[in-house]
Every structure is written in structure tokens, then in C-alpha cells.
Amino acid sequence: FFKCLHDNEAKSEGRAELIPSIKLRHCCLLRNQRCLTAYLYDRLLRIRALRWEYGSVLPANVRFHMCAEEVQWFSQYKKSLASFMRSLGAGEGLDITQDMKPPKSLYIEVRCLKDHGEFEIDDGTVILLKKNSQHFLPRWKCEQLIRQGVLEHVMS
């Protein structure tokens, strides 16, 4: 790096033969910049996919691996997505992260894969989600939990 600076000074003094070396070092710097930018961009693409795959609250261990700027980017992406969703459906809002596969029925049969505690559905009944218990629940409440791996969709 310092050799690069030194040569740059020499160039401004008019010694044209050092130009190839300067050019070579510049290529190396550009290459490093390209690799770093592509890596960081790929991380952002994966974080964006997390919002769609996992939901708006990330588990603590995933957040542990993200740097502060990435966490900030994620919360801003969440906000943009939320305001976009609110603007759809004639002012009422439409949750486009639901129903990723076309729904066939309103209620689905699910089996619990691990203990998740109590779960309240719209009409007020509370269901205890214990491992291996099976329930018949409304689709829109379960979709998030199925994607997170807590419940399993049982096809008859």
C-alpha cells in the first residue's frame, strides 16, 4: 500500500515508466473491492430472503451473526415492506407474505413438532401446543408456525 502511494508521487513528478506498476496495484485494489462488495451484497440478499422465509422477527442466533448495519437494513426493509403491504387492497392492506402456495381450504390439519406453549385463535379459544398433538386450525394462523418448523402440515 505504501509502495503504491510512493509510486503515485513519483508518477505526478512525471516518471511515466512506473505507470504499469501503478496500474497493476490499482487492479488489485479494484479486485479486492469487487470481492468485498459482492460478499456484502450476497449477505444482504440472504437477509432479505429471511424476511420472506422466516417472518419479521429473526431468531437470536441469526441476529447474532449480523452486524449492526445489517440489522438496521433489515428493520428498514421490514418497514418498507409493511408500508407497501398496507397500501395494497384499496387502503385496507394485504399481507403478501401469507398464502405463498395457493390455499385449498380454510382449515388445515396440523401436528405439533415441539412444545410451543399456548396458542390463541381468533374466537378466543386457547390451544395447548404439545409435542405430537394434532389440531384442526385455521390456515392463516398456522402458516407462520409451519414455516418456522413448530407445526407440521398433515395431508390426509
Partner 1 sequence: MNTQSYMPVEPGVGMEENFLSLDDILLAHERLPIRIECAFPRLGFLDKSSDTQDIPEGTKMELPLWLSKGLYERKRRVLSVELPKVYREGWRTVFNADPNVVDLHKMGPYYYGLGSQMLHFDSPENPEVAQTLLQTFIGRFRRTMDSSQNAYNEDTSALVERLDCLEKALFRSGQSGLNGFQGWEKGQASQLTASSLVLNYRKRKMTDVQH
Residues 83-102 that bind partner 1 (CB under 8 A): 101-102
SS3 98: coil
Does residue 41 touch partner 1 according to CB under 8 A?
yes
Q: Which is nearer to partner 1, 45 or 126 (CB)?
A: 45
Among 13, 14, 45, 65, interactor with partner 1 by CB under 8 A: 45
SS3 79: helix
Q: Which is nearer to partner 1, 124 or 141 (CB)?
A: 141
Beta bridge partners of 128: 118
Q: Which is nearer to partner 1, 47 or 127 (CB)?
A: 47
Shortest distance, position 7 Cβ to partner 1, whole Å? 7
Q: Look at strands 107-112 and 134-138 and give their pairing.
A: antiparallel
99: left (phi over 0), alpha (psi -120 to 50) or beta: left
Question: Phi and psi of 62, rounded to 5°?
Answer: -70, -40
Does residue 28 touch partner 1 according to CB under 8 A?
yes
Does residue 132 touch partner 1 according to CB under 8 A?
no
Does residue 65 touch partner 1 according to CB under 8 A?
no
Angle (CA) 143-147-135 rounded to 5° is 50
Does residue 142 touch partner 1 according to CB under 8 A?
yes
Does residue 23 touch partner 1 according to CB under 8 A?
yes
Among 8, 37, 87, 134, interactor with partner 1 by CB under 8 A: 37
- In the block, cell 407445526 appears at 151
